[in-house]
Structure 1
Amino acid sequence: MFRPNRLKARIRAGEPSFGTWLQSAEPTFAEMAAIAGFDFIIMDEEHGAGALEAAVATMRAAACTEATVMIRVPSADPVYLRRLVDAGAQALLVPMVETAEEARAIVEAVRYPPHGRRGNANDITRSSSYGMVPDYYARADDSLLIVVQIETVTAVENARAIAEVDGVDVVFIGPTDLSGSAGLPGQTGAPEVEALIARTVEAVRAVGKPLATVPRAGRTHQQLFDEGYCFVASGSEIYFYRRGVEALMAEWRSYRGEAAATPAAAPSSYGR
């Protein structure tokens, strides 16, 4: 059967969507998050441990729910992008996109001719339910959600041109790497970083494309939704587990009369 892209439908309808990150590539955590009610789960292959087989397992784990699995790829490698969409990925998040040319190449890699260069094997791939969706070729391009990340100063300069690329559905602002690119690593609330983010927002909204992001210093996910972002991803299974074991060990040390452990580093954008 053809599984509708519920996240893309929500974005088109103007409905805010809330998601979380999966760093471990463990499908059980994806299934748990999906059952809990997140609108989407981002399986992180840029900083996480997963690869193609884990991506398929994660998509299967969430398939019994309303959640959409988004894959953040390690890079814009067109061969790997094609493998993912053949494997059934409905949403792709591509990091470190800096120019319209790069964005265009991403879109072309995952669209069928005449609009792209994706190879046609839809009679056997998981994306078409192994050939059991007879009109998959005609529906495939429109059912895929393509999200590109702006997270460098160069990308900010080119934000409007990137957003104008046909096939780019959402522009995702990455404040942590953007702060590093601006020479202020980790200072996502710094005025200089806020100014870069504001420039990006203005450029993308001038084109009429939706924006997405993660919480940052001075901005909760609720505030970001109030500012008009279409989706926000907050926290990760690693962060949630770390917080839990730290709290448990703090209780144990207190019981034993031991000194408290050194506090963990400040939360990143994944952990708010």
Structure 2
Amino acid sequence: MSTTQTISISPTSLFLRNSDSNHPIKDANVNVEDERLNETPEELVDKALHRLQTAGVQLIEWGTLLFRRMGVPVMLTHYHYLIPDDELESASKILSDMGLPLSPPAPILVKSSGDFFSKGRLHRLTRSTSLGLVQYLILLPLSFASYTESELDLLPRITSLPSPTSRTLLVPQPTAVYASILRAMAAYPRWSPTRQTLESNLSELIGYNLYDLQGGYVDIDDEDLCQTLEVDRRVEDAVQVVKRWGLAGKWRDGEEWMGDALAAVVAGTGEIEALPWAS
């Protein structure tokens, strides 16, 4: 944290939007320079990212934000970022000191998504704690996705704010995203909630990012629709993209199988559910 930033040690409060209460969240360590009324989650995230980056924390875009960048029209509920494992606790403390409460994940989230929530540090962005309304800034350890420095690019952050204080962050390259998912899928039992979530993520990325089918699900038995959308061409183009990744040496040593496995799934000759899993 910058030595020029001021920490208030007297009880102050940070008001968060979407309240189901007329009272603000109380926190004894709110930076008075950051205390605002009725800030949106995106404004709070921008402020939090700026604070973390000022403290030297390496931030990697992940989860919903990364998927949206890759063309998946998923609803933005939570803000996910990967950070080095040894910085997770200190980064979480910075957010808590800003007045973003550290919250345990709801049991139903862990039951449905596994380590996507159980490994994270969830900092609440809304006053509401209702499962349908609450939004989190979620920090996860980099080891969960296992990216290397060479697989990351420094890119402008996607935000609707006109003048964000945090402007850039690290973004995984497309090949690295697919490899990370395949690697993680192989590390979890076939029917675990984490594995099931990874399968769903891979399916969405193939459909929206590789096939570029922005309309979502397509009934392959509807021949007229498939012809209109040029599904066969899209599939072949996507297969060639995956094959070019292999020719360009994008897969790590010992993981060349990923190219063949992904190409088979994209071509329709393989199934996501049959990809390697942990025993």
TM-score by length of 2: 0.24
**Structure with greater Cα Rg:** 2
TM-score by length of 1: 0.24
